[in-house]
Amino acid sequence: MWRSSIFLRSVRAYRTGMLGWGLGMGLVVLSVMASAGSLIGTAAQRQELVQLAGTFAWNADVVAVDTVGGYATWKIGIFMLLIAIWPVLAASRMLRGEEERGSLDALLALPRGRVRVALEKAGALWVALAGAGLLIAILVALGGRRFGAQFTTGDAALFALNLVLICAAMAGLALLISQFTVQRASAASGAGGLLVLFVVVDMVHRVIPGTGWLSRLSPVYYYNLSKPLVPGYGASAGGMLVLLLLALVLHAASVSAFVQRDIGGVVSLPRVVRRVETAGPRSPALPVADWSLKSVFARSLRMLAVPTAWWTLVMAGFAGWMVVVVHQTAATLNNLLAESSSIARAFRQLGGQGAGLDAALLGTIFLLLPIFLMAFAVTQVSRWVADADDGRLELLLATPRSRAGVLLGRFAALSCAIAAMALVILLAAALAAAASGLLLAPGTLAGACVGMIPLALLTASLGYFGSGWLRTAADTGLLSFLLLAWLFVAFVGPDLGWPGALLRLSPLYDYGQPLTQGLSVASSLSLLALAGLALGLATVRFARKDVGV
């Protein structure tokens, strides 16, 4: 039955992502609600939590944080938007991925028009998003009843619907970008970078008064208008309608662009934005004399240059912005911590350690940036697996190069890109700290940036290892879900009082708090050792397996 139509076959292909991300994000909300009781048990605790949350108003609107639903909404904040990673990856390969493999030609040779093919594939993604939303709604509703929250089952459904709409909008954006790019990885990278930019733009109006008009350009602004789990706040019909219309327009524009362009080609840009052609002979179709063809490593660096530049620009800008923003809360936060020992204790429970400013920086910058760097590694693993699945490695392996050399050359190039990104992030954060007058020890800042490198390398090596047995969608899907599980353990596990042995299963927990406690060299070396082991096993597997199998 599942192979009887494009729609059903596509729905079946999305089953892993739908179940994994739906259950995973639902459990995240459920666990945060479980930890709320220890912070809002008494009137004094509730008052102190409200005061503490007010110092982080730049991150999210502080509304009824002294309730289970309000605390969960504030505590999770923008972390919930990590669910958009899966629809972005799925939408970027929906059409462009099949074009890269060459399977779309065979599909369109059947008596099915382009519009029908595109609509059935897009409809399948919407159904998968709805399925994930249903799982989230069920878990949130059960958690609300279990922990005495004041929201209803309908509120839990609206919370999930709001998530589905923002995910559909980001998926539509990735699908539209894929009509202008030759590779699906470029579309995924572009949409991921725009998601980070949208988060920053949404924060602007809470930091700089009178900039509400700018924040309204971000879909995240309309997502944050709805807070169904907060008693007495509810959902914003206008905000959800904007997200729905945006998603529909983006998907419709994507289908229209797909219908009008050549298979394997891209949408022609308007003449005013095209590159001006210079006089003289055209360059050859293939880069025959290009410097990057001298080795697998050099060619891989050349192919990584553009996505690395965009990801680095977004991440470095985000780091600099957050340093400046958090510095504005330093005085208020330090006063609160000095005046009340109970507030200081609550702050430590929320993830802060040591000095208030350093802990705030840790919680905002160096908890998100490693995740972004690991997400970049996931996109590049997807490129490697796609090259193997689609037959692009066969010509390369026909040359006098060993299989181990090909895999290690690609991984070495990715390692250089990751190290360069960490260096630029360090420079951006240091410059922003100096410009804002923030006294931040260079050694701890450098350690925080260097410590992100083993995390990304471990993610990449596990992806390369999984590529020995799994296809593109399964490998990147499981890798993305593993990243979510690590975040869940590190973010929620301490609140639930999980034992240290269980918490250390997450590399993000091993990353620790480098801005307050320094970089754990032992943990970093252990992560590098695990990455080396996974890479070694991946190399052995790749040397023995059939390409594309």
Determine the length of the chain.
549
Return the amino acid letter for 208. Answer: I
pLDDT number for residue 167: 94
Q: Mean pLDDT, the chain, as a whole number? A: 80
Return the amino acid letter for 86. Answer: W
Cβ-based burial of 1 (10 A; exposed 0-12, middle 13-18, buried ≥19): exposed
pLDDT number for residue 4: 65
Residue 265 has pLDDT above 60, yes or no: yes
Residue 283: DSSP 8-state: P
The residue among 123, 125, 160 whose CA lies nearest residue 141 is: 160
Residue 394 has pLDDT above 70, yes or no: yes
What percent of the chain has a predicted confidence (pLDDT) above 70? 79
Query: How do residues 203-239 score in pLDDT, each as one tens digit?
Result: 887 777 777 788 899 999 999 999 999 888 889 999 9
- Ramachandran region, residue 548 (left: φ > 0; alpha: ψ -120 to 50; beta: rest): left
pLDDT number for residue 339: 52
pLDDT number for residue 289: 57
pLDDT number for residue 438: 67
Structure tokens at 465: 């290892």
Structure tokens at 198: 């949208």
- Unique residue bearing structure tokens 């250390």: 504
Q: Which residue has better confidence, 133 or 502?
A: 133
Would you say 436 and 327 are in contact if contact means Cβ atoms under 8 Å apart? yes
DSSP helix/strand/coil, 70: helix
Range 266-287 burial, b when 16+ CB lie within 10 A, else e: ebeeeeeeeeeeeeeeeeeeee
Query: How do residues 287-303 score in pLDDT, each as one tens digit?
Result: 555 555 668 888 888 88
Would you say 352 and 330 are in contact if contact means Cβ atoms under 8 Å apart? no
pTM of the model: 0.77
Cα–Cα dist 17/35, whole Å? 27
pLDDT number for residue 255: 94
For the residues 444-454, what does the mean pLDDT come to?
86
C-alpha distances in Å from residue 226, one per residue of 140, 231, 234, 236, 303: 16, 12, 6, 5, 41
Would you say 224 and 204 are in contact if contact means Cβ atoms under 8 Å apart? no
- Unique residue bearing structure tokens 């169904």: 228
Q: How confident is the model at residue 84 (pLDDT cuts 50, 70, 90)?
A: confident
Would you say 131 and 22 are in contact if contact means Cβ atoms under 8 Å apart? yes
Residue 251 has pLDDT above 90, yes or no: yes
Residue 359 has pLDDT above 80, yes or no: no
C-alpha distances in Å from residue 532, one per residue of 389, 447, 454, 464, 519: 24, 21, 10, 11, 20
The residue among 293, 315, 313 whose CA lies nearest residue 303 is: 293
C-alpha distances in Å from residue 74, one per residue of 39, 57, 361: 13, 10, 17
Cα–Cα dist 365/440, whole Å? 13
Residue 440 has pLDDT above 80, yes or no: no
- Unique residue bearing structure tokens 């009340």: 340
For the ranges 12-26, 29-43, 266-280, 439-453, the lowest mean pLDDT is seen at 266-280
pLDDT number for residue 329: 59
DSSP helix/strand/coil, 227: strand
Would you say 231 and 67 are in contact if contact means Cβ atoms under 8 Å apart? yes
Cα–Cα dist 411/415, whole Å? 6
C-alpha distances in Å from residue 181, one per residue of 97, 176, 185, 187, 344: 11, 9, 9, 6, 50
For the ranges 107-116, 362-371, 384-393, 499-508, the lowest mean pLDDT is seen at 362-371
Q: How confident is the model at residue 6 (pLDDT cuts 50, 70, 90)?
A: confident
Cα–Cα dist 115/18, whole Å? 25
Residue 340 has pLDDT above 70, yes or no: no
For the ranges 22-26, 192-196, 208-212, 341-345, the lowest mean pLDDT is seen at 341-345
509 CB-near residues (< 8 Å, 6+ apart) = 486, 489, 490, 493, 503
Structure tokens at 357: 């400013």
Query: How do residues 121-176 score in pLDDT, each as one tens digit?
Result: 999 999 999 999 999 999 999 988 888 888 899 999 999 999 999 999 999 999 99
